[in-house]
Structure 1
C-alpha cells in the first residue's frame, strides 16, 4: 500500500482478536477486596468537593468579574483579588452547574462550567462571547421592533406650501432618535447612493410631489414582504407614506403576500412566472409575472384598515399589455361605474392606465371581461404627497440568472415607467445549490445589474448579500455552509465593479454560525430550514439595513448642507 493511502473500513482481510480480560486463576472469581469501598469513597469525596463549591459564598468582585469576563479569566481575577485562604471563595467559579437568569427570557438555566471553560482552553472563548452578544443584540432589536409595531400609527407628513427660492440652501439635518442607534454593518460605498439620498432630501424637505421610490428585487429571503415591509414602514414613518407601491395581479406562489394592503383574488388568473422561462417573448412585466385570462378572473386591491402604512391611496396605475385579439379589461373603483379597456393591438406592447381619486381609503377591482385573452401584470398604488414608496419585487425560488429571462427592451420600458430612485437586489439563496465557478456567477450577476440599469445606467443600486445558510455537521452543530462566504465575496466584487453600494447581510447577522444562533434565540429569528428567517428575523434584518441606509443619509446631508436646494434635482 502506498504511503499516502489509508486502509478503509472495508479494505483488507477480516482480522479477529480474542481478548481475555481475566487470568486463568481468577476466572469465575470475585473483584479484589476493597474495590467497591474505594469507588464509593471516591464518589463521596467528589460529592463533598462539589458541595464545597456551593457552600462557599461568592465575593462581590468575583461575581462582577464572572459577569463581564470569560470563566478562565474570571477565575484568575478572583484569585488575584483574594490571596491565600481567602481564595477558597473563588470555588464558586468551578461549580458543575451554575444557576443563571437569562437576561432575554427571564428564565433560569443550568450551565455546566466545563462547557464554558472548555471553550477558553480551546481558544474559542472570546469569539463565542462575541457571537453570543451579537445574537442577543439581534433579539433585543426584534423585541424593540415588536413593541414599536404595537403602538405605531399612521402619520401625515407636512407638505411645503411655498415654492423653493432661488437662493434657498439645504438646511442641516435635525437630530433623529433612529440615528443614535448602533449600526451593525455600514454600507460599503454609500456614495454610490447619492442620487437616492438627494431624492430622499427633497422628500424630507416636504417639496410638493417629491416621492422617493425604491424597487427591491430578491428571492424568497424577501418573500411575504418581511424584510421589505420592515424597511418600508421605517422609511415611511420618517419621511412620509406615499403609498404601498407595486402589487402583482395575483399570487404566483403562496409566499407572495404584502403588508399594508388588502388583496382579494376573487377568481384566479393563469400566471407565468419568470423563473420558469415560460414566455419566450420575455414580457413578464416589472414584477416578473404575467397574468392571463379569457374572462372571469378578478382581483381586488384595497387600502389597509390597520397599521401605520398603506391606509390611503390617491392613484391606481394598472399595468397591462396590448396584444393581437386582446379582450376587455374592466376596472371598477369602489362603487363607481366600471371602466372598460380594450387591450387589442396590432402587436404585443406595454400599456398603462391611471385612475386618480381623492386621497383616502379605496378599493379597485380588476377583471378580465371577455372578448378575447387579456394579459396584465399588476397595479401600483400611490399618493400625491411627499413620501417614500418601497416596492417588494420578490422572485420566489429564483436563481440570480433567471432575471436574464426578461426581454431587455420590455424591462427597460417597465423600469423607466416606474421611475425608481434606488434599485436593491438580494439574490443568492437559491444559487447555493447550483454548480459552477464563482467567475461564472459574477458574470451572471453583473449581467443582471446591467440589464436592470439599461434604461438608466446611473440608477443608484444596492447589492444586499444573502442570509447566512446553515447545515448540521457530524456532531449536530449548526454551522455555516461553505458556499455562503464565497457567494458573499463574489457579490461584493460585483457591486464594486458595477458601481453599486453593498450591504453585508451575512456579517450583520453575526457571520459564521449566525443562523444557528438565530434559530436558537428567543424569540426565534431563524427558521427551522436554516435558510430563511421568521417574522421577527425579518424585522431585525430590515432594521439593520434601515440603520445602515440612514447612516449614509446623515453623512450625505452633512456634505450638502448649505448648498442650493435646486441643485438636489441635478444629482
Structure 2
C-alpha cells in the first residue's frame, strides 16, 4: 500500500510525469461538491456545430465563422476533386481513394472512421481499404472490422531499432512461421474482393487465404526480394476471412477489402507514437513508392505533429526539413496526385498552477506546417484553429461529456467526431468551390 501511495504521489509531483497522473483531483472535488452539469453557450460541441453549419452560424451570430481551415491556393487537391467528379458522374469502376498517415488517434480509426463514413455516405462505399495483418497495439482496430491473430513477430517502422525499411503501405511488417494466423470479420456484407500484401524473399514460405471456411488459394513468397500482392474473389456475402502461414518464413503487411462498386476507399494508416520521420526516413523510399503506386491514393494526408510538439528542439531544427522530404517522396511516387498536410489537434498540459494550457511549441509547429505547405504548393488543413485554437483541450476536458482523455491528447469518440466532421466539411466545401470555379470558367469560355 505504501508503494502504491508513493507511486501515485510521484506522478503528481515529478514534472516529467505530470501528464500521466492517475488521479484528477479537480474532478474528485467536483464529485464531492455534487455540482450539477450545466451546458453553456461556450460548450465546444455547440461551437463546433455552429462552425460545421454555416447557415446555423448566420442564424445564431449574424455572421459566418471566421475560420477557413483548408488552404489550397495552388490547386493541389484538384486531382482529388477530379476523382470525386468521376465517381459522381458514374464512370465505370470510378473510385476515389484517400491515404491518411497519422499518429496515435488514428491507430484506433478515430477521426478517420468519421471522415470515411461521411464521405462514403455522400459519394458511395467502395470498400474498407487497408488493414494491418495483426494488432501492433491492443487498441488497434477499424470501425467495421473485427480481427484477432496469433504467431506474428511485429515490427513497427517507428519502434524497431534495426530498420530495413520494408514496412509496406501501413508502416508495419509481420513475420510468421507455420501456424501464424490472422482472422478478419467484416461487420457488413457486400465485399467481393480481398487482397493480401506481402514481401517476397529468397527463402520465403507460403500462406493461404480462406473465406467462410473455403480455401481461396495458396501464395508462395519465395523469390527475388520485391513487393507482392495476391487477390481473391470472395464468396457472396462472406464476412469471415482468414490468412494462415503454411510454411515459413513469411512476411506480410496487410489486407484490403473492396466492394467492387463506385465510391470512396479511406485508408487509416496511423502508428502509435509516430512522428514525421516515419515518412521522411523510416520507410525505404523505393519500397514505399511502389506501395503507394500500387494502392494509388488520389490524396495523401500527412497528419503529424502531436508527438513532436513537446520537443521544442525537434520542432525548431528538424521538423521542417523532414516534412519537406516527406512531401518530396510522395510527389516523386505519385506526381499526379494530391497532398494534404493536416496539422495536429491542440495538445494540453498542466502548468505550475495546475491549469491546462497548450504546449508551448505547438503553435510554432502548426505555423511551420502552414509555411511548408504554401512553399511546396500543397494543401493545408489547420485542425488546431478549426477546433478552436489555443486552449481548446482545456475546454474539451471540462466539457460534459468530456471530449478528450486525461492526457489532453487523445480525443474521446465525441471529440474525434468533431474533428472528422471538420475535415469532411472542409473537403466538401473545397470540392464545391472547385466545381463552381470550373463551371464559371466554362461559361466564360463559351461566352454565356
The alignment's TM-score, normalised by the length of structure 1, stands at 0.66
The answer to whether the Cα contact below 8 Å between 1:185 and 1:508 also exists between their aligned partners in 2 is yes
Query: Which SS does the other structure have where 1:381 is aligned?
Result: strand
Deviations 1:334-361 (A, max 9, x none): 222341111111x311111011235634
Q: Cα–Cα, structure 1 residues 563 and 206, in superposed 2: closer, same or farther, change >3 Å?
A: farther
Q: Cα–Cα, structure 1 residues 442 and 205, in superposed 2: closer, same or farther, change >3 Å?
A: same
Q: Cα–Cα, structure 1 residues 296 and 278, in superposed 2: closer, same or farther, change >3 Å?
A: farther
For structure 2, which runs of at least 5 residues remain unmatched after alignment? 1-34, 58-64, 443-448
Query: Which SS does the other structure have where 2:105 is aligned?
Result: helix
Determine which of 130, 133, 153 is the counterpart of 1:270.
Answer: 153
* Counterpart-to-counterpart distance in 2, 1:180 and 1:316: 42
State the partner residue of 2:72.
189
Q: Cα–Cα, structure 1 residues 233 and 356, in superposed 2: closer, same or farther, change >3 Å?
A: same
Query: Which SS does the other structure have where 2:287 is aligned?
Result: helix
Q: Point out the structure with the larger strand share.
A: 2
Q: How does 1:243-254 map to 2 (within 5 A)?
A: 243-254=127-138
State the partner residue of 1:557.
435
* Counterpart-to-counterpart distance in 1, 2:217 and 2:142: 26
The answer to whether the Cα contact below 8 Å between 1:255 and 1:396 also exists between their aligned partners in 2 is no
Query: Which SS does the other structure have where 1:396 is aligned?
Result: coil
What RMSD over aligned residues (CA atoms) do the two structures have, in Å? 2.4
CA shift for structure 1 position 550: 0.8
* Counterpart-to-counterpart distance in 1, 2:152 and 2:128: 22
For structure 1, which runs of at least 5 residues remain unmatched after alignment? 1-98, 105-128, 145-177, 306-310, 565-571
Query: Which SS does the other structure have where 1:226 is aligned?
Result: coil
Q: Does 1:136 align with 2:46?
A: yes
The answer to whether the Cα contact below 8 Å between 1:181 and 1:547 also exists between their aligned partners in 2 is no
Size of the alignment, in residue pairs? 397
Q: Does 1:445 align with 2:327?
A: no
* Counterpart-to-counterpart distance in 2, 1:359 and 1:279: 43
Determine which of 397, 404, 407 is the counterpart of 1:526.
Answer: 404
CA shift for structure 1 position 180: 5.5
State the partner residue of 2:175.
292
Determine which of 388, 393, 396 is the counterpart of 2:269.
Answer: 393
* Counterpart-to-counterpart distance in 1, 2:96 and 2:373: 22
* Counterpart-to-counterpart distance in 2, 1:436 and 1:337: 50
Query: Which SS does the other structure have where 1:312 is aligned?
Result: coil
Query: Which SS does the other structure have where 2:77 is aligned?
Result: helix
Q: Cα–Cα, structure 1 residues 415 and 348, in superposed 2: closer, same or farther, change >3 Å?
A: same
Q: Cα–Cα, structure 1 residues 551 and 213, in superposed 2: closer, same or farther, change >3 Å?
A: same
Q: Does 1:218 align with 2:102?
A: yes
Q: How does 1:67-106 map to 2 (within 5 A)?
A: 102-103=38-39
State the partner residue of 2:259.
383
Q: Cα–Cα, structure 1 residues 551 and 343, in superposed 2: closer, same or farther, change >3 Å?
A: same
Larger Rg: 1
Q: Cα–Cα, structure 1 residues 475 and 559, in superposed 2: closer, same or farther, change >3 Å?
A: same
State the partner residue of 2:353.
475
Q: Cα–Cα, structure 1 residues 273 and 239, in superposed 2: closer, same or farther, change >3 Å?
A: same
Query: Which SS does the other structure have where 2:332 is aligned?
Result: coil
Deviations 1:271-314 (A, max 9, x none): 11000244543111111001111111111123214xxxxx4211
Structure 1's consecutive aligned runs of 4 or more residues displaced over 3 angstroms after TM superposition are: 99-104, 133-136, 178-186, 277-280, 357-361, 561-564
State the partner residue of 2:310.
433
Deviations 1:7-36 (A, max 9, x none): xxxxxxxxxxxxxxxxxxxxxxxxxxxxxx
The answer to whether the Cα contact below 8 Å between 1:526 and 1:532 also exists between their aligned partners in 2 is yes
CA shift for structure 1 position 452: 2.5
